[in-house]
Amino acid sequence: MTQKFDVVVIGAGPGGYVAAIKAAQLGLSTACIEKYTDKEGKLALGGTCLNVGCIPSKALLDSSWKYKEAKEGFAIHGINHAGVTMDVAAMVGRKANIVKGLTSGVATLFKANGVTSLQGHGKLLAGKKVELTKPDGTVEIIEAENVILASGSRPIDIPPAPVDQNVIVDSTGALEFQSVPKRLGVIGAGVIGLELGSVWSRLGSEVVVLEALEKFLPAADDAVSKEAYKTLTKQGLNIKLGARVTGSKVNGDEVVVNYTDANGEQNITFDKLIVAVGRRPVTTELLAADSGVTIDERGFVFVDDQCATSVPGVFAIGDVVRGMMLAHKASEEGIMVVERIKGHKAQINYDLIPSVIYTHPEIAWVGKTEQTLKAEGVEVNVGTFPFAASGRAMAANDTGGFVKVIADAKTDRVLGVHVIGPSAAELVQQGAIGMEFGTSAEDLGMMVFSHPTLSEALHEAALAVNGGAIHIANRKKR
């Protein structure tokens, strides 16, 4: 007997599983298809984010930072110790336990909300039918009123450095090192490369980051990018800009990497090499030839602003569609799509999706950068406040970085909030909330912020926009 559902979701990542749960909560019969299995061969929900992305990398980032703090940062607090060591296997094991707890939690949520979990590979056929190929090879056809494509993304492979998951690894392999590599190479100075490079650098690796672009973190505000480069370099990351990898050769337990830079052809030897040059959508074998859904030359599914494809009743969300590859973007797109399926009005403000890099200090921003606004001819006023002037940051001995608020010079409306420093992600989110409601810098400056908090840095930066900061000397208003 053919199974029929109001909604069938292909993919149980942060976009897919959230969409499935929301659909079930709204009274729609819902199934979610996922094929990913863990090391034990069991179905693992949660997609890249929970299994081999956001969550496990943050677990390693937190563990490695605590180790670095214990070695280098406790003495100033009067905490004396000696002989601090890192058990890498235990650190990786802790990460695995966190992942297992969260992925099993998604399964529990599916049961609690009445979502039917189906294991296997899903392919969209014509007429909104979905072909489910189960682990045993058997095939079942499922009928759906609505289909949501949420198959996610995978690391990009590059011919000059083919991944073997031994010496040359992708972001997934870099989460599983059982010892600290003495010489670690990272191709790509993006979010993934900087985060993973930071993890192993803190534990003792000599890390070299090879970035083909001449500009560091081009999506970030220039002031933030410069501060991040200076800080991460000081921490030990050797970031080589304008370094394009041309080839590599594995010799036993090491790899020789060839690259070109301003000085010509170069080579360098590593014990491990992480390829972190970005991700590509997983749309291979997702669509039958007659499904009616179209994709572009890079493999992204064409959708409109509400994530609808060219086929009525078929939607696509997350990493398989245009825009930033971010878990929170995928989740909100999933909710938006389901709300629209139910006939409710729902949309996403794509201009206010925060970006975060979980290095230390954290780097985060929302809205536009100062250089983008000036290129668009928008006259702006800018306020900054350094964490070096924050009492709370000083008490925590974490005073690097600053908060930057950018406002329209004519209307005072906040157009961008950029932070590098402690709790940057949380502070930027405060800015995003205000910006969603059209806040002005004056509005933020008139709000009462609790003391002592890191949030006061946002308050002071907003005051500084119009020359009214209290705890730093003000620049002339532009």
The residue-averaged pLDDT of 312-339 equals 98
Same domain, yes or no: 40 and 151: yes
Residue 451 annotated to the active site: yes
Return the percentage of the chain with pLDDT > 70, whole number: 99
Evaluate whether residue 474 is within a structural domain: no
Both 151 and 292 in a single domain? yes
Written as one letter, the residue type at 61 is: L
pLDDT tens digits, one per residue of 343-371: 999 999 999 999 999 999 999 999 999 99
Between vectors from CA 115 to CA 109 and to CA 117, what angle results, nearest 5°? Answer: 95
Same domain? 334 vs 430: no
Please give the average per-residue pLDDT across 247-275, as a whole number: 98
Domain end (from 223, 252, 277): 277
Which residue's entry shows tokens 């709370």? 392
Catalytic residue among 81, 328, 344, 451: 451
Among 402, 397, 404, 396, CA closest to 421: 402
Task: Mention every residue, 6+ apart, whose C-beta is less than 8 A from residue 372.
Answer: none
Kindly state the average pLDDT of the residues 41-59.
97
Residues 374 and 333 in one domain: no
Question: Residue 134: inside a domain, yes or no?
Answer: yes
- 53 belongs to a structural domain: yes
Q: Is residue 101 part of a domain?
A: yes
On the question of a cis peptide bond just before residue 452, with omega within 30 degrees of 0, the verdict is yes
Task: Report how far residue 301's alpha carbon sits from residue 285's, in angstroms, rounded to the nearest whole number.
Answer: 13
SS3 of 304-330: the string is CCCCECCCCCEEECHHHCCCCCCHHHH
Instruction: Give the residue numbers spanning the domain of 249.
Output: 168-277
Question: What is the average pLDDT across 403-427?
Answer: 98
Mean pLDDT, rounded, for 180-202: 98
CATH of the domain at 206: 3.50.50.60
pLDDT at 205: 98
Given a cut of 60, is residue 440 above it in pLDDT? yes
Same domain, 128 and 176: no
| Domain termination residue (choose one: 257, 277, 297) | 277
39/138 same-domain check: yes
In-domain check, residue 338: yes
Same domain membership, residue 131 and residue 192:
no
**pLDDT of res. 476:** 64
For 199, list phi and psi in degrees, rounded to 5: -55, -55
**Residue 475 falls inside a structural domain:** no
Does residue 59 sit in the same domain as residue 119?
yes
The verdict on whether omega for the bond into residue 162 sits within 30 degrees of 0, i.e. cis, is no
pLDDT digits (tens, 9 = 90+) for 205-238: 999 999 999 999 999 999 999 999 999 999 999 9
CATH number at residue 408: 3.30.390.30
In the structure, what pLDDT confidence band is assigned to residue 2 with cuts at 50, 70 and 90?
A: confident
Which one-letter amino acid corresponds to residue 301?
V
> Does the residue 356 lie in any domain?
no
- Indicate the length of the chain as a whole number: 478
Residues 16 and 131 in one domain: yes
478 confidence band (pLDDT: 50, 70, 90) = very low
Query: Quick one: 186 and 334 in the same domain?
Result: no
Q: Are 325 and 153 in contact (CB under 8 A)?
A: yes
* 458 vs 441: CA distance, rounded Å: 10
Is residue 202 a part of any domain in this protein? yes
3-class secondary structure per residue, the chain: CCEEEEEEEECCCCCHHHHHHHHHHCCCCEEEEECCECCCCCECCCHHHHHHCHHHHHHHHHHHHHHHHHHHCCHHHCCCCCCCCCCHHHHHHHHHHHHHHHHHHHHHHHHHHCCEEEECEEEECHHHEEEEECCCCCEEEEEEEEEEECCCEEECCCCCCCCCCCCEECCCHHHCCCCCCCEEEEECCCHHHHHHHHHHHHCCCEEEEEECCCCCCCCCCHHHHHHHHHHHHHHCCEEEECCEEEEEEEECCEEEEEEEECCEEEEEEECEEEECCCEEECCCCCECCCCCCCECCCCCECCCCCCECCCCCEEECHHHCCCCCCHHHHHHHHHHHHHHHCCCCCCCCHHHCCEEECCCCEEEEEECCHHHHHHCCCCEEEEEEEHHHCHHHHHCCCCCCEEEEEEECCCCEEEEEEEEECCHHHHHHHHHHHHHCCCEHHHHHHCCCCCCCCCHHHHHHHHHHCCCCCCCCCCCCC
As given in the structure block, the two tokens for residue 436 are 């969603």
pLDDT the model gives residue 81: 86
**Average confidence (pLDDT) over 68-74:** 94
Can you tell me the distance from the alpha carbon of 274 to that of 440, in angstroms, rounded to the nearest whole number?
43
Q: What is the number of domains present in the chain?
A: 3
Q: Say what the pTM is.
A: 0.96
**Dist CA 437 CA 443 (whole Å):** 11
Same domain, 223 and 300: no
477: confidence class by pLDDT, cuts 50, 70, 90:
low
233, 253, 277 — which closes off a domain?
Answer: 277
| 45 and 141 fall within a common domain | yes
